[in-house]
Chains A and B, each alone.
Chain A
Amino acid sequence: MDNNSDTTKAATRPSCKSKCESDTLTSNINLSKERRADATPAGVKQKVINHPCYSNDAHHKYARMHLPVAPACNIQCNYCNRKYDCANESRPGVVSELLTPKQALLKAQAVAKAIPQLSVIGIAGPGDPLANPVRTMETLALIRAAMPDIKLCISTNGLTLVDHVDELLKLGVDHVTVTINTLDEVIAAQIYKWIYFEGRRYEGVEAGRILIQRQMEGIAALAKEGILTKVNSVMIPGINDGHLPELSRELRRNKVFLHNIMPLISKPEHGTFFGLVGQREPLTTELDEVRELAGGNVSQMKHCQQCRADAVGMLEEDRSAEFSIEDINPEPEDYTQTMAGRCRFQSAVISKGVSETEASLVVAVATKNSEQIDLHFGHADCFKLYLVTKNQHHFIGERRITRYCSGDNHEQSIETNETNLQTTIKALHGVDLVLCCRIGTPPSEALAQENIRVVIDYAYHAIDVSLADIYSRYAPLAHSKWQARQKVEQQKVEQREVI
Chain B
Amino acid sequence: MALKITNSCFSCYACETVCPAGAISIEVNTFIINPTLCTECDDIESPRCIAICPEPKAITRVK
Binding site for B on A (CB under 8 A): 1, 71-74, 76, 82-83, 127, 131-132, 134, 196, 199-201
Q: Which residues on the B side are within 8 Å of A82 (C-beta)?
A: 10, 12, 54-55
Of the residues B16, B44, B52, contact of A74 by C-beta under 8 Å: B52
Of the residues A74, A134, A199, A200, contact of B14 by C-beta under 8 Å: A74
Q: Which residues on the A side are within 8 Å of B45 (C-beta)?
A: 200
In the bound assembly, the distance between CA atoms of A74 and B45 in angstroms comes to 18
Q: Which residues on the A side are within 8 Å of B21 (C-beta)?
A: none
Taking a contact as CB atoms under 8 Å apart, the answer to whether A131 and B17 are in contact is yes
In the bound assembly, the distance between CA atoms of A73 and B13 in angstroms comes to 9
B32-48 vs A, Cβ < 8 Å mask (1 yes, 0 no) = 00000000010011101
The 8 closest A-B pairs by CB, nearest first: A72-B14, A201-B51, A82-B54, A196-B52, A71-B13, A72-B17, A72-B13, A199-B44
Tell me whether A132 and B13 are in contact in the complex, defined as CB-CB below 8 angstroms, given that A73-B54, A76-B54, A196-B18 are known contacts. yes
> Does B11 lie at the interface of the complex (its beta carbon under 8 Å from any beta carbon of A)?
yes
| Chain A to chain B contacts (Cβ below 8 Å), 18 pairs | A1-B11, A71-B11, A71-B13, A71-B14, A72-B12, A72-B18, A73-B14, A74-B14, A82-B10, A83-B10, A127-B12, A132-B17, A196-B14, A199-B41, A199-B51, A200-B45, A200-B48, A201-B52
Q: Closest chain B residue to A71 by CB distance?
A: B13
Helix, strand, loop or mixed for chain A's interface? loop
Which of A1, A73, A199 has most B Cβ within 10 Å? A199
Nearest Cβ on chain A to B4's Cβ, whole angstroms: 19
Q: Which residues on the A side are within 8 Å of B48 (C-beta)?
A: 196, 199-200
Taking a contact as CB atoms under 8 Å apart, the answer to whether A196 and B12 are in contact is no
Nearest Cβ on chain A to B38's Cβ, whole angstroms: 15
Nearest Cβ on chain A to B43's Cβ, whole angstroms: 9
Q: Which residues on the B side are within 8 Å of A127 (C-beta)?
A: 12-14
Binding site for A on B (CB under 8 A): 10-14, 16-18, 41, 44-46, 48, 51-52, 54-55
Q: Which residues on the B side are within 8 Å of A73 (C-beta)?
A: 12, 14, 54
In the bound assembly, the distance between CA atoms of A131 and B55 in angstroms comes to 17
Taking a contact as CB atoms under 8 Å apart, the answer to whether A200 and B46 are in contact is yes
Q: Which residues on the B side are within 8 Å of A1 (C-beta)?
A: 11
In the bound assembly, the distance between CA atoms of A127 and B48 in angstroms comes to 18
In the bound assembly, the distance between CA atoms of A196 and B10 in angstroms comes to 18
Nearest Cβ on chain A to B30's Cβ, whole angstroms: 13
Q: Closest chain A residue to B29 by CB distance?
A: A1
Tell me whether A131 and B14 are in contact in the complex, defined as CB-CB below 8 angstroms, given that A200-B44, A200-B45 are known contacts. yes
Given A127-B13, A131-B14, A200-B44, 8 new contacts (CB under 8 A): A71-B13, A72-B16, A72-B52, A73-B54, A76-B54, A200-B45, A200-B51, A201-B52
Q: Which residues on the A side are within 8 Å of B10 (C-beta)?
A: 82-83
Q: Which residues on the B side are within 8 Å of A200 (C-beta)?
A: 44-46, 48, 51
Which of A72, A73, A131, A132 has most B Cβ within 10 Å? A72
Q: Closest chain B residue to A196 by CB distance?
A: B52
Nearest Cβ on chain B to A78's Cβ, whole angstroms: 12
Q: Which residues on the B side are within 8 Å of A71 (C-beta)?
A: 11-14
In the bound assembly, the distance between CA atoms of A314 and B45 in angstroms comes to 48
In the bound assembly, the distance between CA atoms of A200 and B55 in angstroms comes to 16
In the bound assembly, the distance between CA atoms of A199 and B46 in angstroms comes to 9
Q: Which residues on the B side are within 8 Å of A134 (C-beta)?
A: 17
Nearest Cβ on chain B to A128's Cβ, whole angstroms: 10
Q: Closest chain A residue to B55 by CB distance?
A: A82
Q: Which residues on the B side are within 8 Å of A196 (C-beta)?
A: 14, 18, 48, 51-52
In the bound assembly, the distance between CA atoms of A428 and B52 in angstroms comes to 44
Q: Which residues on the A side are within 8 Å of B51 (C-beta)?
A: 196, 199-201
Q: Closest chain A residue to B15 by CB distance?
A: A72
Q: Which residues on the A side are within 8 Å of B52 (C-beta)?
A: 72, 74, 196, 201
Q: Which residues on the B side are within 8 Å of A83 (C-beta)?
A: 10
In the bound assembly, the distance between CA atoms of A405 and B52 in angstroms comes to 43
Q: Which residues on the A side are within 8 Å of B14 (C-beta)?
A: 71-74, 127, 131, 196
In the bound assembly, the distance between CA atoms of A370 and B46 in angstroms comes to 52
Q: Which residues on the A side are within 8 Å of B16 (C-beta)?
A: 72
Q: Which residues on the A side are within 8 Å of B44 (C-beta)?
A: 199-200
Q: Which residues on the A side are within 8 Å of B54 (C-beta)?
A: 73, 76, 82
In the bound assembly, the distance between CA atoms of A83 and B10 in angstroms comes to 7
Nearest Cβ on chain B to A54's Cβ, whole angstroms: 29
Nearest Cβ on chain B to A386's Cβ, whole angstroms: 43
Nearest Cβ on chain B to A252's Cβ, whole angstroms: 34
Nearest Cβ on chain A to B22's Cβ, whole angstroms: 12
In the bound assembly, the distance between CA atoms of A107 and B21 in angstroms comes to 32
Nearest Cβ on chain B to A111's Cβ, whole angstroms: 24
In the bound assembly, the distance between CA atoms of A16 and B55 in angstroms comes to 32
Nearest Cβ on chain B to A395's Cβ, whole angstroms: 39
In the bound assembly, the distance between CA atoms of A118 and B44 in angstroms comes to 46
Q: Closest chain A residue to B43 by CB distance?
A: A199
Q: Closest chain B residue to A197 by CB distance?
A: B51
Nearest Cβ on chain B to A270's Cβ, whole angstroms: 14
Q: Which residues on the A side are within 8 Å of B12 (C-beta)?
A: 71-73, 82, 127
In the bound assembly, the distance between CA atoms of A76 and B14 in angstroms comes to 12
